[in-house]
Structure 1
Amino acid sequence: MAKESGSVDRLRPSLRPVRAGNGFEEALEQILQVVRLGLVPDGGRLPAERELAELLGISRVTLRDVLKVLQEQGLVESRRGRYGGTFVLTRTDSPGEAELRRRLAAVDLEDVLRLREVLETGAAGLCATHGLTDEGAERLRTALAATHEAPLPDYRRRDTLLHLALAELSGSPSLAAQYAAVRATVNDLLDCIPLLVRNLEHSQHQHTALVEAVLDGDPEASRAAMREHCAGTAALLRGFLA
């Protein structure tokens, strides 16, 4: 029989209720950190789904989506039966681990994430405050529609083009140039983590709310929508890479 991880109480300092806006992403971040920090040892069992869901403040449906991602990444496995549950697997370096470590060594992850949030929320607020021309509004709508129509392999490119459009429409060439540079770094990091359908669907809802707020000329709602969107991406990057 596999060794036990112990009571859920052992994990309480590391697991906390997630915020409503990015429940899936933040729950995934927290459980990834528990696994990657070795708080549950190789071969150890995670707490029962009911306990984990209650601790994180999410539904069991959302938790199962999170556990599915961990299984697909080879970090845990699900076993049935009397001694069943979700067990942490022994992790071995893949051929891409060296490249991942090289990329991370050259980047201050928290600095990149904070700068991205400042630039993106600023651009969204400026677009909403000063308004867009008819041409600018149509460019933004077209970029949004392109993300909705994107096949999975092309999603990140079209997502980047939407965010670049917002930065360029802000009216500040300096902001747009700074954002282009930081987005290139963000994309390098995103290339190190998997595309998650649940996250992409959520991102699309956030994109739509963001563009609607900008076109409505509501800077506060635009900044809030962008801030929440950036937080979701940050949670995934911290979970997989921090």
Structure 2
Amino acid sequence: MSSDTLVPAPLALVTGLADAAPSSGGRAEQVAAQLETAVCVGLVSAGTRLPPERELAEQLGVTVLQLRQALALLRERGIVTTRRGNGGGSFVTDASAVQPHEVAQRLRGLSTEWLRDLGDLSGSISASACRLAAERADPSDVDRLRELAGAFAAATGLEQLRLADSRLHIAVAGAAQSRRLTAASVQVRGEVAPLLWYAVDGELPTRAAVEHHAAIVDAIARGDADGAHRAGLLHSEQECRHLIEAHLAEVLTEATTARS
């Protein structure tokens, strides 16, 4: 991902998130949510300069005023910063990284049922994407998936793991050659990714994820639709278990602290 300017492909995926973005806060809030999701899942990297306001507004299908309102919301959240003068513009900040204490707080506020429901949705989207990718991916898609799986296996640190994992999931959906499925994948990874890479008893789901990613990519490369579907489901089930374990661990920690 270039650190200079947001390229058209991620922008196309951002616009596909419109229907899933919150509607209660108006169009500016919707655009802010779309861009925040794009940053969260690694479609837009820290340091990326967004296109000029008029160009970006046109690509996102909003007015310049609505875009400026959205950027103001993102500045308040520390996700973008705006510089004036030559070489200026709006840039994604390093502070956009998910902080562990924020994840812990969010996990405590969720329920097991909510997380299971999220896991069901994520599994359905992921398994469908894996199946279709096995049927439709071309050799260049497979090469890209292997590259992304390797990047995840080599990742160190929570932020790198989160971004590399999300990029691979979204690329699988992209290899399925379905724009709606890809947009759905971006949306659900935007919900899963901030919560998933949180250690439970000092353990992250890294090893299992590396194995599952390899199985998914191998099945896609073979054109094994059933195998890819099974591998995608297995991976999603493991993610869901980890989310629930992380939630329960945080609830227990909070209860223990309250009693002491």
| TM-score of Structure 1 vs Structure 2, range by shorter chain | 0.5 to 0.7
- 1:111 deviates by 2.1
Unaligned runs of 5+ residues in structure 1 are: 1-94
Is the Cα contact below 8 Å between 2:107 and 2:246 reproduced in 1?
no
Q: For each residue in 1:163-215, what CA deviation from the matched residue of structure 2 results, as whole angstroms up to 9, or x when unmatched?
A: 11001111110011011111111123225555965631122111111100110
How far, CA to CA, are the matches of 1:148 and 1:101 in structure 2? 26
Pair 128,98 (structure 1): closer, same or farther in 2 beyond 3 Å:
closer
Partner of 1:122: 128
Matched letter for residue 127 of structure 2: T
Q: Per chain length, whose mean CA-contact separation is higher, i.e. which structure has more relative contact order (CA < 8 Å, sep 6+)?
A: 1
Partner of 1:214: 220
Q: Is 1:137 aligned to residue 142 of structure 2?
A: yes
Q: Is 1:187 aligned to residue 193 of structure 2?
A: yes
Partner of 2:154: 149
Matched letter for residue 222 of structure 2: D
Trace 1:69-84 onto structure 2 (pairs within 5 A): none
TM-score by length of 1: 0.54
Q: For each residue in 1:209-235, what CA deviation from the matched residue of structure 2 results, as whole angstroms up to 9, or x when unmatched?
A: 110011000011101111111111111
How far, CA to CA, are the matches of 1:190 and 1:103 in structure 2? 15
How far, CA to CA, are the matches of 1:192 and 1:147 in structure 2? 16
Q: Is 1:224 aligned to residue 210 of structure 2?
A: no
Over the residues paired in the alignment, what is the CA RMSD in angstroms?
2.7
How far, CA to CA, are the matches of 1:231 and 1:99 in structure 2? 23
Matched letter for residue 150 of structure 2: A
Pair 196,229 (structure 1): closer, same or farther in 2 beyond 3 Å:
farther
How far, CA to CA, are the matches of 2:107 and 2:212 in structure 1? 31
> 3-state SS of the aligned residue for 2:110?
helix
Is the Cα contact below 8 Å between 1:193 and 1:237 reproduced in 2?
no
Structure 1 residue runs of 4 or more that deviate by more than 4 Å after TM superposition: 95-98, 191-198
> 3-state SS of the aligned residue for 1:108?
helix
Q: For each residue in 1:61-94, what CA deviation from the matched residue of structure 2 results, as whole angstroms up to 9, or x when unmatched?
A: xxxxxxxxxxxxxxxxxxxxxxxxxxxxxxxxxx
Trace 1:152-163 onto structure 2 (pairs within 5 A): 152-153=157-158, 154-163=160-169
- 1:236 deviates by 1.1
Unaligned runs of 5+ residues in structure 2 are: 1-100, 249-260
Matched letter for residue 121 of structure 2: L
- 1:99 deviates by 2.8
How far, CA to CA, are the matches of 2:122 and 2:191 in structure 1? 10
Q: Is 1:109 aligned to residue 115 of structure 2?
A: yes
Matched letter for residue 126 of structure 2: E
How far, CA to CA, are the matches of 2:124 and 2:146 in structure 1? 23
